Amino acid sequence: MGDYAKVDGHSSLIRDNESTAVINTDIEAYYLARKRKEMFKTQINEINTLKEEVNNIKNILLQLVEKING
């Protein structure tokens, strides 16, 4: 391990000559990508929670309408 070559046109990318994997050496970009991914997961969870709450409200309203029309 340790045999790397620079990727032409990309200052922060190197290629592992043994596995041919491309590795990003820009640590800041890595941490920003992780943060974006975590924020995206949080947003998805919030959206799913809101959907559940809207469905609960819808069910309560339907029950009220049934009682009124009952």
Residue 13, domain extent: 4-69
CA atoms 9, 11, 17, 22: torsion sign = negative
The pTM is what? 0.64
CA distances (Å), origin 59, targets 50, 68, 70: 14, 14, 16
68 three-class SS: helix
Tens-digit pLDDT profile for residues 9-42: 999 999 999 999 999 999 999 999 999 999 999 9
Residue 70: both structure tokens together? 């009952």
Distance spanning both ends of the chain, measured CA to CA: 75
